Structure 1
Amino acid sequence: MDQALPDDARPPRPRERNPERTTRDILLAAREEFVEHGLEGARVDRIATRAGANKRLLYHYVGNKEALYARVLLDAYRDIRAGEHELNLARLAPREAMAKLVGFTFDHFAEHPWFIRLLQTENIQRAAFVKEMPDLRELHSPIIRQIREVLSAGEAEGVFRTGVDPIQLYITIAGLSYFYFSNIHTLSVVFQDDLASEAGQATRRAHAIDVVLSYLAPKVLPHK
């Protein structure tokens, strides 16, 4: 009778195939690779190594390097859009809703620095992959619709000025945070202030909210 081998002497069992987990690991590894090296500098073999998967599985579950990049970018956009949806802006008073949106946008960039790198990479590509995204309009139109509804409610209550373009406003909201975080290291050196510190970010966050709410306030004509 063969003697049973002790647990530590038995050969390791092969890792069970879990398509969802493998795909998730591949996409996370791909995101890290694209953030570090950009699209041109990224390498599929390094992505496979990071994910603990072989290249055959990588191509099987997602596709080539361009397909990986497109999927990572799409997931990044879906993530921020999902977060905006969860804000339930329509249930808030107009000023509170707008402050919440500005704060969320700032926090999203702060907590996801890789998102900025992906946006920079895609702009270098002149939005080549964004143009090919499925349901592009359906993905991005909800936030503009939410902003338009909040603006309309604010106008009706007399707390917002009239005639604000929701798309221009969203670009301003995103820009207030995007520029800050994409240039945070150079700005910290130039102004000799640690803008990446907790206090620095809190100051900037409050400033961004104040800028937007001040802009939206009804115009007051000077007394003659």
Structure 2
Amino acid sequence: MNGPVHRARPARSAAPARKEPTRTNDPERTKANILEVAEGEFGEKGLAGARIDAIAAATNTSKRMIYYYFGSKEGLYLAVLEESYRRVRDVEAELHLQDLEPEEALRRLVAFTFDHHLHHESYIRLVMSENINRGEYLAQSPRIQELNVPAIAAIRNLYERGVKAGVFRRGLNPIDIHASISALSFFNVSNRHTFSLIFKLDMTSPAYIAERRENVVEMVVRFMRKN
């Protein structure tokens, strides 16, 4: 009598290799998503502390794909800087300052700058981080230099119209005007934690923000207004 027949079990098929997540079907959307997430990562941790792994996980893509698009961690950081400056300059161009009377245009510009900085803390932290780097990466970008030319030109045009109309006093430099607007708007975000603790203020309360916004606008207008 023959012994029991042992049927050979069918060999298990090997599990398919796990593919790295990609979004090559919509590369522009993928790049935009990477830049958005990377802005938060670099803003929160700086260039040294940011991790490409974290950006890849948050965007459901891969390190390989990020390096494909941006070349390196430093390349992604520079792209984030350029995109951050591009966004703010694009919105500034939509303010149509040339269509407004000089003082009204100035008020709109200052209020916009205040609001933009208030609602884009990652942008503020990026600028702070790049200052810690002594502008090393910003200096590598001709694009950022070009993006800021229209911003100064718009202020120069606004100011010269105001001087001609007898609204603004003579002798001011458009770059200095830009610096003053930026500084007054920047501080409210860059120093909010230390300033709030030292002076027991809630700099995030709607009442404080509204009053501070009005004061900043008024300070710049009075600085430029002809006596």
TM score, norm. by length of structure 2? 0.86
Contact 1:173 1:212 in 2 (8 A): yes
Which structure 1 residue ranges, 5 or more long, are not aligned? Answer: 1-13, 220-224
- Cα distance change of structure 1 residues 121 and 211 upon mapping to structure 2, 3 Å threshold: same
Q: Which has the larger radius of gyration?
A: 2
Match of 1:120 in 2: 128
1:106-156 Cα offsets, whole Å, 9 max, x none, are: 000011111110001100111111111133432111111111111111111
1:51-74 Cα offsets, whole Å, 9 max, x none, are: 111111111122210000000000
- Cα distance change of structure 1 residues 16 and 27 upon mapping to structure 2, 3 Å threshold: closer
Q: Distance in 1 between matches of 2:192 and 2:135?
A: 24
Match of 2:169 in 1: 161
- 2:152 pairs with 1:147: no
- Cα distance change of structure 1 residues 160 and 25 upon mapping to structure 2, 3 Å threshold: same
Contact 2:98 2:158 in 1 (8 A): yes
The alignment-based identity, stated in percent, is 43
Which structure 2 residue ranges, 5 or more long, are not aligned? Answer: 1-20
TM score, norm. by length of structure 1? 0.88
Q: Runs of at least 4 residues of structure 1 off by over 6 A?
A: none
Q: CA RMSD in A?
A: 1.4
- Give secondary structure in 2 for the equivalent of 1:135: helix
Contact 2:23 2:61 in 1 (8 A): no
Match of 2:57 in 1: 49
Contact 1:28 1:51 in 2 (8 A): no
Q: Distance in 2 between matches of 1:28 and 1:209?
A: 30
- 2:113 pairs with 1:105: yes
- Cα distance change of structure 1 residues 167 and 15 upon mapping to structure 2, 3 Å threshold: closer
Aligned-partner residue type, residue 62 of structure 1: F
Contact 2:85 2:144 in 1 (8 A): no
Contact 2:46 2:129 in 1 (8 A): yes
Contact 2:89 2:148 in 1 (8 A): yes
Matched pairs, number: 206
Structure 1 residue 21 displacement after superposition: 2.1
- Give secondary structure in 1 for the equivalent of 2:142: coil
Q: Distance in 2 between matches of 1:54 and 1:42?
A: 15
Match of 2:179 in 1: 171
- Cα distance change of structure 1 residues 61 and 110 upon mapping to structure 2, 3 Å threshold: same
Match of 1:79 in 2: 87
Choose from 180, 202, 215 the match for 1:194.
202
Q: Distance in 2 between matches of 1:23 and 1:143?
A: 26
- Cα distance change of structure 1 residues 160 and 46 upon mapping to structure 2, 3 Å threshold: same
Structure 1 residue 15 displacement after superposition: 7.0
- 2:65 pairs with 1:32: no
Aligned-partner residue type, residue 201 of structure 2: D
Structure 1 residue 16 displacement after superposition: 5.8
Contact 1:29 1:48 in 2 (8 A): no
